[in-house]
Amino acid sequence: MRQQAEQPAESELVARARQGDNEAFEALYRRHAGRVNALCLRMTGNAAQAEDCVQEAFVQAWKKLSSFQGASAFGTWLYRIAVNEVLGVQRRERRRVTHLQVVGEEERTEEMEYARALGGEAGEEIDVEQAVRALPEGARNVFVLAGLYGYSHEETAETLGVAVGTCKAQLHRARQLLAKRLIP
């Protein structure tokens, strides 16, 4: 039986990559690209945007590798870069979008907007990932980081640049919207 070569430790790969070893950085990319992509996809709700964010996160990680001090795991540091990239894209996107208000149009409730974003009516069967993607941006970001990836409220709030109370409220809001949509 053929034995596989042992995988180098992450700390060894980071040290080699810091010295300019492209193969070591490529190995780090292969180890983390899938999880970083999943994080970006869940936060953006858009595959093309997520792919761009992943690429930019790894470009930034390569450029900033000398500043990685090892106080946390490389993956944690990389996730932070990816989250910051997604937040930057979301900020730029918000600036581009203009909101038009039609005089006389009825205000829609949050639940109606959410159901419309999902492309259906309340009570229809829906995919969980689709339901998460359709959450309002703030609630989606908090839900992905705290609800799915296990960040504490404090870590999530710091990462997103919001107050801890806002983080808790957004997580509650996300859970309520998901429960209304997913639990008949």
52-66 pLDDT, tens digit per residue, is 999 999 999 999 999
**Thinking of the domain 8-100, which architecture would CATH place it in?**
Orthogonal Bundle (1.10)
* CATH fold match for the domains 8-100 and 109-184: no
d(CA 156, CA 167): 7
Per-residue pLDDT of 78-134, as tens digits, reads 999 999 999 998 888 776 654 333 333 444 455 455 555 555 554 444 578 888 888
CATH fold of 109-184: Arc Repressor Mutant, subunit A (1.10.10)
Give residue limits of the domains in the chain.
Answer: 8-100, 109-184
Tokens of 38: 């999943």
